[in-house]
Every structure is written in C-alpha cells, then in structure tokens.
C-alpha cells in the first residue's frame, strides 16, 4: 500500500523515522511530506534512505516537473500525519493550504489519520480542541496523545503515543475503510 507520512515540527518528529521503518517492513511504500519547520528537527535524507522514496518538502520541484500534492495523492491508501502540531491541525481544520503538507491533505481521497503531539497546555486549549472536533466531523481519524512528561518538562496530555500503537491504529483505520 502507498502511505503518505506527514511530519510537522513537533519535537517528537524524530519518532517518525521508526514509524516509516515499520511501514516499510510491512511491505508498504512510504512517501514522506515534511513541513519547512520540521526540517529544523529531522533530515529528508534519512527518510529517503529508510523508505527508498523521495522526501517532499517543496510544493513545486522543478527537477521532477511535478506538483507534489497532486502526484502524491495518486493511489495513496493512507495519509498519516505524525506528529501533528497545533499549527497543522488548525490549518487542516480551516482549509488553509500554505505548504505541501496541508495542500496534500486537501487533495487526498484516502483515509486520513492524525497523531497530535504538543505541550499539554496547547493540546487542551479550546481552539485546538475545536479544530480536532471539526476534523473528526470531516472523517479524520485522531490518535489521542498520551498523558506524561513532554520534552519541555510539563506533564499532561499531549505526548505522542508509542510508535507501534500508532502503526497498529493506522492500519486498523485502513482495514475498516
């Protein structure tokens, strides 16, 4: 199955390397789409090495003469955003398509799964919760974050669940679709 794995700029972004590896071991073809800000935390080359496919971060790649969001959506079986920041959730919920990740979201017709990861105060903010509810109403599947200590030292709900749990839940969504 073709998987589009979106990565936004949460400190948990490094965990998406292991997620990509799990899908590849499962026999899936993984194409990563990363936000510009996530490039401060992760490397496209690492994703390309792990998946054997290009890592997309620019909406218009002249060398390949393609529009990434249109090319990526073709034959996709799953679009999984892990981790998803408050910024990305807000853009998705409000139809803002100002980067490759959000334009890809608006163009896909496959199941969409999102794993939020952020500071607990941010996650519990009414604006973030309203955006999540809006996405759920539109059919987006949300993998709830865990309670625990996050990178900044705060404790509460906002921590990315174990990658193996995200992998299993994402595959379950595809099976149920």
Which long-range CB contacts under 8 A does 147-155 form with residues at least 24 apart? 150/11, 150/118, 150/119, 150/120, 151/11, 151/12, 152/119, 154/119, 154/120, 154/121, 155/120
The verdict on whether 152 is a catalytic residue reads yes
Which long-range CB contacts under 8 A does 22-26 form with residues at least 24 apart? 22/163, 22/164, 22/167, 23/167, 24/50, 24/51, 24/52, 26/167, 26/171
| Catalytic member of 82, 110, 152, 155 | 152
Beta-sheet pairing, 141-142 with 112-116: parallel
**Residues annotated as part of the active site:** 152
């Amino acid at each position: 199955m073709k998987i589009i794995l979106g990565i936004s700029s949460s400190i948990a972004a490094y965990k998406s390397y292991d997620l990509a590896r799990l899908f590849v071991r499962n026999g899936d073809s993984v194409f990563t789409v990363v936000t510009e800000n996530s490039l401060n935390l992760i490397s496209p080359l690492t994703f390309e090495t792990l998946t054997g496919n290009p890592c997309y971060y620019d909406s218009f790649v002249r060398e390949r003469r393609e529009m990434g969001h249109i090319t990526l959506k073709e034959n996709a079986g799953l679009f999984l955003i892990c981790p998803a920041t408050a910024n990305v959730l807000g853009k998705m919920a409000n139809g803002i398509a100002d980067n490759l990740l959000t334009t890809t979201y608006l163009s896909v017709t496959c199941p969409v799964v999102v794993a939020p990861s952020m500071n607990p105060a941010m996650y519990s903010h009414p604006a973030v919760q309203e955006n999540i509810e809006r996405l759920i109403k539109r059919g987006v599947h949300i993998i709830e974050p865990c309670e625990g200590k996050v990178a900044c030292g705060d404790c509460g709900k906002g921590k990315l669940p174990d990658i193996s749990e995200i992998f299993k839940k994402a595959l379950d969504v595809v099976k149920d679709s």
